[in-house]
Amino acid sequence: MYSRREFIERGGLGLFFMPALSHPTMTGGGADFEGLVVNAEEGEAIRMRDGTSIVTIKIAKSQGAESLSFLSESFMPGDELPVHRHMNEDELIFIHKGTGLFTLGEKKFTIGDGAVALVPRGVWHGLKNIGTGNIEMRFSYSPSGFEGFFREAGTPLGQPFVQKTMEERRAIARKWGMIYKK
């Protein structure tokens, strides 16, 4: 059993304690990848669904992170992530703020600040904001790569929003190994 200091020194949480950088950096992929730091205001922001949901890609395969990606999303009351499943990735979801109705398999859970869900690949899941404020969530995919779906299905923040129909989103989702239930 390691002390907290030994755990950090051995790299257990080293990513979170590295000196802050002004911009995310990468040193390449594979064995050369030394990690990266992304500050709160950094990342690739993308408007999704009706344009009010913002997904921010913080850590991506394109930055050299092959084992996992890390993203955040903010979405308004009444908005929802339709029930879907990923065929190639496991997903870890953390609800930073907000209240939602989370579907996992055939079960529904009321979730709030601090809730965490682990979704193995192939399991149906979705989230509806049933609260009065935005849901602020953080989520990760393993392995990385699925963040490309958001780039293709959404519009980069700062550009005129182009809303895609559900059929267009379904086609993009299939390309990325995701299936919508309805």
CB 52 within 8 A of CB 73: no
The SS3 assignment for 167 reads: helix
Which H or E run includes 172?
A: helix 166-175
Query: Looking at per-residue confidence, does 31 or 133 come out higher?
Result: 133
Cis link prior to 24 (omega < 30° from 0)? no
pLDDT surpasses 70 at 178: yes
Enter the tokens of residue 177. Answer: 């190994």
Q: How confident is the model at residue 30 (pLDDT cuts 50, 70, 90)?
A: low
Q: How confident is the model at residue 29 (pLDDT cuts 50, 70, 90)?
A: low
- CA dihedral for 151, 54, 71, 166, sign (positive or negative): negative
| Residue-level pLDDT at 22 | 31
Distance CA 80, CA 72 (A): 15
Domains of the chain: 45-180 (2.60.120.10)
Q: Write out pLDDT tens, residues 85-124.
A: 999 999 999 999 999 999 999 999 999 999 999 999 999 9
153, 143, 120, 175: which is closest to 53 by C-alpha? 153
CA distances from 76 to 97, 99, 178 (A): 12, 11, 23
CB 39 within 8 A of CB 28: no
Q: Write out pLDDT tens, residues 41-68.
A: 999 999 999 999 999 999 999 999 999 9
pTM, 2 dp:
0.82
